[in-house]
């Protein structure tokens, strides 16, 4: 009798754990941030940006459908994809492109690479298919977004892993990538860059807002402590989720959508980030 009770309790606990992990990994959270600046003109007051990071070829149809639905509901002026749209360990370019096709008529889509794109041999194929589906690829480029008689700058750079064989550290690679890009620092400048741990470099270049991902929210989030582990940051990483400030730079780190090496999240639901710009 005692053995049967132990087995029943064990089965119940496993069932509860399975349901919890399913919820944590398949039910989307929408996080809304308001960014105020006197460099944001009245023309851009209320301008909305939907940020999706680390899609990683998610195989959850529910999650993908909910993500598309919430992007539509947020009514963004632009959509930004901040790296790791695909997963190098379970590469399926068609899954990524299928998602893009569902969102590219909602608003203009801008994209930067992550470390997983840098690992695959078929990146050029992915790039071609993204461009065929109206995605604007910001690989060291500046896009000037105009509204009425006002402008904001949107700048994007490739993940430093594209330059892994140069024997430079990631910060130097990013700094070298930014040097050729001519942007007016008196305007409101937004940088799309996959790596949050390089915030010092971003702040040194006077970006007003940086949109990043890569950390997957720290994968397992411990109450009152934060994320447990993140790539390029190790244990108890500093930059995993939410908004951070350094000097005059604000950085928003998305927890992302999919998973990669670790196949599950704990206390760390997939996240769509929506940013509202506000004139100060």
Position 47 confidence tier, pLDDT thresholds 50, 70, 90:
very high
| Nearest C-alpha neighbor of 181 from the set 230, 142, 224 | 142
* CA angle in degrees (0–180, nearest 5) for 119-252-162: 20
Q: What digits encode the pLDDT tens for the residues 49-96?
A: 999 999 999 989 999 999 999 999 999 999 999 999 999 999 999 999
Beta strands at 209-212 and 189-192: parallel, antiparallel or unpaired = parallel
* CA angle in degrees (0–180, nearest 5) for 262-244-172: 75
Q: How far apart are CA 185 and CA 157, in angstroms?
A: 17
- C-alpha distances (whole Å) from 152 to each of 43, 96, 146, 196, 237 are 10, 28, 7, 22, 31
Mean pLDDT, residues 262-272: 93
Q: Which bin fits 46, alpha (ψ -120 to 50), beta or left (φ > 0)? A: left
Report the CATH number that the domain containing residue 94 is assigned in CATH: 3.60.21.10
- Out of 8-22, 55-69, 125-139, 225-239, which region has the weakest mean confidence (pLDDT)? 8-22
- Model pLDDT, residue 167: 81
Q: How far apart are CA 224 and CA 123, in angstroms?
A: 39
> Could you give the 3-state DSSP secondary structure of residue 143?
strand
| Domain coverage including residue 194 | 2-279
| Nearest C-alpha neighbor of 214 from the set 237, 189, 246 | 237
Instruction: Give the dihedral sign, CA 45/53/195/136.
Output: negative
- Model pLDDT, residue 13: 81
Position 18 confidence tier, pLDDT thresholds 50, 70, 90:
confident
Position 159 confidence tier, pLDDT thresholds 50, 70, 90:
very high
Contact 169, 136 (CB under 8 A): no
Q: Which residue has the tokens 């206390």?
A: 267
Q: In the chain, how many domains are there? A: 1
Position 218 confidence tier, pLDDT thresholds 50, 70, 90:
very high
**Whether the predicted pLDDT of 263 surpasses 90:** no
| Nearest C-alpha neighbor of 50 from the set 66, 70, 64, 27 | 70
- Model pLDDT, residue 3: 83
* CB half-sphere exposure, 17, CA atoms < 13 A: 7
Position 166 confidence tier, pLDDT thresholds 50, 70, 90:
confident
């Amino acid at each position: 009798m005692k053995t049967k009770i132990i087995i029943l309790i064990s089965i119940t606990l496993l069932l509860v754990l399975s349901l919890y992990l399913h919820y944590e990994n398949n039910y989307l959270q929408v996080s809304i941030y308001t960014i105020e600046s006197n460099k944001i003109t009245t023309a851009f007051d209320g301008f909305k940006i939907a940020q999706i990071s680390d899609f990683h070829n998610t195989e959850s149809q529910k999650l993908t459908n909910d993500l598309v639905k919430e992007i539509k509901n947020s009514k963004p002026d632009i959509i930004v994809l901040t790296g790791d749209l695909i997963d190098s360990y379970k590469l399926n370019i068609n899954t990524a492109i299928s998602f893009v096709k569902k969102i590219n008529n909602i608003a203009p889509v801008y994209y930067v690479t992550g470390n997983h794109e840098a690992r695959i041999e078929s990146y050029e194929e992915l790039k071609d298919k993204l461009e065929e589906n109206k995605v604007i690829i910001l690989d060291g480029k500046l896009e000037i977004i105009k509204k009425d008689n006002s402008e904001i700058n949107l700048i994007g750079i490739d993940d430093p892993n594209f330059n892994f064989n140069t024997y430079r550290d990631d910060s130097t690679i990013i700094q070298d990538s930014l040097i050729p890009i001519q942007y007016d620092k008196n305007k409101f400048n937004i940088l799309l860059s996959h790596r949050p741990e390089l915030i010092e470099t971003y702040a040194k270049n006077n970006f007003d807002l940086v949109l990043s991902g890569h950390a997957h929210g720290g994968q397992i989030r411990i109450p009152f402590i934060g994320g447990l582990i993140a790539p390029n940051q190790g244990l108890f990483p500093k930059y995993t989720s939410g908004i951070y400030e350094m000097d005059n730079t604000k950085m928003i780190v998305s927890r992302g959508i999919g998973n990669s090496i670790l196949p599950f999240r704990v206390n760390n639901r997939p996240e769509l980030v929506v940013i509202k710009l506000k004139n100060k």
